[in-house]
Amino acid sequence: MINSLVSIAFDGLAFAMVLFIISVGLSVTMGLMGFVNLAHGMFAMLGGYIAVSFIRELGVPFLLGAPLGCVAVALISVVLERTLYRRLYGGDELQQVLLTIGLVFMGIAVCTFLWGPLNVQLDVPSYLKGQVDLGFRRFPTYRTFIILVSFAVIIALWYGFERTLLGAKVRAAVDNQRMAETVGINIRRLFTLTFALGSALAALGGALGTEILGLTPTYALEYLVYFLIVVAVGGLGSLRGAFAASLILGVVDTAGKYYLPAFGAFFIFAVTIILLLWRPQGFYAR
Amino acid sequence: MEQPAYQNPLRTGAMRPAELLPWLAAGSGFFLFPDYLQLGAQILIMVLFAMSLDMILGYAGIVSLGHAALFGTGAYTAGILSAHIGWSEPLSGLVIAGLVAGVVGLVCGAVILYTRGLTLLMLTLAVTILLQELANEQEHWTGGDDGLQGVVMQPLFGVFEFDLYGRTAYLYALAVLFVVFLAARAIVNSSFGQSLRGIRENERRMHAIGCPVYRQMLRAYTIAAVMAGVAGALLAQTTEFVALDVLSFERSGDVMIMLILGGTGRLYGAFIGAPLYMILQDQLAKLSPEYWLFGIGALLVATILYAPEGMLGLAERLRAWVRREDS
C-alpha cells in the first residue's frame, strides 16, 4: 500500500516536472502576448524527434542531443514567430487558434513523413538505466534524472525571472504591457526572446519526457490539452501557478490511471472543470 | 465606399435568388452523383453541424472547442433510443435527440458562459473529453470503443426505407437541413440575432445599453445545442451506427475548420466549408493521410492569413473589386 503510494507520488512527480518544463514557456508567452499558441505541443514533439535523430543518426552523446534539439527548435520557432505569428498579434484569439492548429497539422504530416507513424524510443545511455538506491527505496534512474534536471531548470528559471533584468522586463510586460512600453521596454524583441526560450524549454521537456509520454506524430495534439490545462489552471504568465497546476495534474492523472484505469483521463478533466469554475483566471492570475 | 442600405431585420420572408444556389446544388447532387449519396448525406449533416457552430461562433462570438459534446449527445440519444429502448421511428427520435442535446447545452452553457477567452475554451474542451470518457466507460449503453451497434430505423413516414445507396438518407438529411436552416435564418435575422451580433462586436457596450448579455448568449448556446444534437442524431440514424469519435476533440476541430474555410457569421459559410473539407478529405486521404493532413493545415494557414473571412468573404471582396473596376 505505502509502496504503491510512493510509486504514484514518484511517477506523478516525474510526469509533473515534464509537464511543467513544457508548459511554462506557453504560460509566459500567452501571458505576455495573449497569443493562443496551440503549436506549443508541436515544439515539444520536434524537440524529441530532433534529439533522437542527433543521438541515433549522428552518434551525438545523449547529454548533448537534447540541448541540440532545443537550439534547433528555438530557431524554428523564431522563424515561425517572425513570419507568421507576428501578423496576428492583438488579433482575435480564434484566428490564432486556427493558424496554430494549421501549423500543428502540417507538423504532424511532416513528422510522419520523416520519422514514421510508430513510437520512436530515445536510447537512454547505460548509466541512466536500471534503478538507483535513495536510501529508503530504489527508484528508476532515468526518472530520477528527469526530476533532478527539472529542479535545476526550475531554479534557473526562478533566478532568471526574479533576479535578472530580463526577468524583470518580462514580469513588467505581463503585468501591464502599455506601461512597460512607455518606460522603454521593446516588447516585440522581448517577446521573440521569450518565445524562443519557451520553445527551447518545450523541446527540452519533449526530449526528456519521451520515456513517459512516448513519441508519435500525434503527440502534438494528444498532449496539447494537458499543456493548456496547466496554463489555464495555473494562470497566464505565472511560474508558481504553472508549477502548482503541473503537480496537481501529474499526480491526479498518475493516480487515476493506477487505481481506476477504466476511467482513463476522466479525473483530470473533472478536476480541471472544478478548478476553473473555482478560479476562472487560474491560481495565480496576474 | 458605398454604404449598404438599411434593411429591416425583422422582414426576413423573401430569399434572394443567390440564396437558392446551395439548395439547387444539393438537389441536383441527388441526381448527378447517385453513387456518392452516403457521402453526400454525411456532408449535409456536417453542413448542419457547422451551421449550428456558426450560431454561437459567427453570431455570438463564443469560441468553443467542444461543440462535438452536443453533436455526440444527439447521436448517442438517437442511437440508444433505437438500440436499447426499441424506439426506431426516425422523426420523433430526431426531435427527442435535439431536445436532450438542448438540455445538455442549457446546463453546460449556464456554467461555462460565465467565463471568457482561454478559460471558456478549456471548459468546452474539458466537457467534451469528459463526456467521451464517460461514453467509453459506459459500455453497456454505448458499446464503448467498438461503437454502438444494433441501431435500426423504421421506414421514414412508414413508407421510405433507409436503403444501402443512401437515397432516403440523403433526402432525409436535406429536408431536415432545409427546415432547420429556415428556422436559423429567421433567428439570426430577428432582433435577437441583432443583439447577438452586438455582443460579438462589443460586449461591454451591449451591457451598457441594457442588453441582458448572459441570457442572450445562453439562449444562442441552447439553440445551437439543439441544432448540433439534431445533426448528431441524423448521423446516427442514417448510418445506423454511433462511433465514439462523435464526441472527440477532433470532430470539434473539424467542424470549426469547415466553418472558417467557408466563412463565419453568414450561415451559408457552412455550405461551402463542409463540402470543400469533406470532398478534399475523401480524395486526398485515399492518396495518403499525410498528404491530407498537410494539405488541410496549409489551407487553414493560408485562409487565416489571406482570407480571414473564408471563401464567402473572398467572393464578396472579389465582387466588390470587379464592381469598382467597372465604374
pLDDT tens, residue by residue, B297-309? 999 999 998 888 8
H/E element, A139? strand A138-140
Instruction: Give how far Cα A33 sits from Cα of A38, A74, A189, Å.
Output: 14, 18, 12
**Is B93 part of a structural domain of the chain?**
yes
pLDDT of residue B14: 65
> Within a domain: residue A57?
yes
- The average pLDDT across B45-70 equals 93
Q: Across the strands, what pairs with B156?
A: B160
B316 occurs within a structural domain = no
- pLDDT confidence bin for B12, thresholds 50/70/90: low
Res. B35: pLDDT tops 90: no
pLDDT at B282 over 70: yes
Beta bridge mates, A132: A139
pLDDT at B277: 92
Candidates B106, B124, B107; CA nearest to B115 is: B124
What's chain B's average pLDDT? 88
How far B106 CA sits from the closest chain A CA (Å)?
Answer: 17
Long-range pairs of B142-148 with CB within 8 A, sequence gap ≥ 24: B142/B76, B142/B80, B142/B242, B142/B244, B143/B242, B144/B244, B145/B244, B147/B241, B147/B242, B147/B243, B147/B244, B148/B76, B148/B79, B148/B80, B148/B83, B148/B236, B148/B241, B148/B242, B148/B243
d(CA A251, CA A267): 11
**More confident: B101 or A62:** B101
Q: What are phi and psi of A164, to 5 degrees?
A: -110, 165
Most confident range, picked from A20-24, B23-27, B87-91, B131-135: A20-24
CB atoms within 10 A of CB B189: 18
Cβ contacts of A232 on chain B, cutoff 8 Å:
118-119, 121-122
Here the CATH number for the domain that contains residue A252 is: 1.10.3470
Who's near B205: CB < 8 A, 6+ residues apart? B198
Identify whether B8 is part of a domain: no
Domain count, chain A: 1
Q: What are phi and psi of B148, to 5 degrees?
A: -90, 115
User: Nearest by CB to B133, which of A103, A108, A264?
Assistant: A264
Q: Is residue A286 part of a domain?
A: no
Number of CB pairs < 8 Å for A and B? 118
Asked if B129 and A30 come within 8 Å (Cβ–Cβ), the reply is no
Q: Report the distance separating Cα A251 and Cα A259, nearest Å.
A: 12
The C-alpha torsion from A50 through A53 and A54 to A57, rounded to 10°, is -160
Residue B267 covered by a domain: no
**CB B57 to CB A88 under 8 A?**
no
| Cα separations in angstroms, B211 against A220, B91, B185, B194, B242 | 41, 36, 22, 11, 40
Q: b/e for A137-157, b at 16 or more Cβ within 10 A?
A: eebbbbbbbbbebbeebbeeb
The domain in which residue B64 lies consists of 31-248
* Residue at A32 is within a domain: yes
Spans of chain A, pLDDT less than 50: none
pLDDT at A183: 92
Does residue B318 lie in a domain region? no
Q: For A111-164, how does the pLDDT look when each residue is reduced to its tens digit (9 = 90+)?
A: 999 998 899 888 888 888 888 877 778 888 999 999 999 999 999 999 998 899
Q: Do A276 and B115 touch (CB under 8 A)?
A: yes
Answer yes or no: is pLDDT of B132 > 60: yes
pLDDT of res. B124: 92
The parent domain of residue A179 ranges over 2-278
| Shortest CA gap B63–chain A (Å) | 7
Which residue from A minimizes the CA distance to B248?
A: A222
Residue B154 or residue A247, greater confidence: A247
Note the pLDDT of residue B220. Answer: 96
Contact residues, chain A to chain B, C-beta under 8 Å: 30, 36, 84, 87-88, 93-95, 97-99, 101-110, 112-113, 221, 225, 228-229, 231-232, 236, 262-266, 269-270, 272-273, 276-277, 280-282
In a domain, B262, yes or no: no
Indicate if the pLDDT at residue B159 is higher than 80: no
Cα separation, A41 vs A227, in Å, equals: 7
Domain membership of residue A136 (yes or no) is: yes
Tell if the CB–CB gap between B57 and A105 is shorter than 8 Å: no
DSSP three-state, residue A8: helix
Would you state the pLDDT for residue B13? Answer: 58
Instruction: Say yes or no to pLDDT of B8 above 70.
Output: no
Q: How many domains does chain B have?
A: 1
Assigned domain for A285 exists: no
For the stretch B213-252, pLDDT in tens is: 999 999 999 999 999 999 999 999 999 899 989 998 889 9
Nearest one of A189, A225, A190, A53 to A123, comparing CA atoms: A53
Q: Give the residue from A218, A233, A216 showing the smallest Cα distance to A268.
A: A233
In a domain, A42, yes or no: yes
Euclidean distance between CA atoms B63 and B249, whole angstroms: 14
Contacts with A99 from chain B: Cβ below 8 Å:
300-301, 304-305
Phi then psi dihedrals of residue A60, to 5 deg? -70, 140
On the 0-12 / 13-18 / 19+ scale of CB atoms within 10 A, B113 is: buried
Asked whether the beta carbons of B160 and B168 are under 8 A apart, the reply is yes
DSSP A114-125: HH-SS-------
| Of B43 and B18, more confident | B43
C-alpha A65/C-alpha B210 separation (Å) is: 60
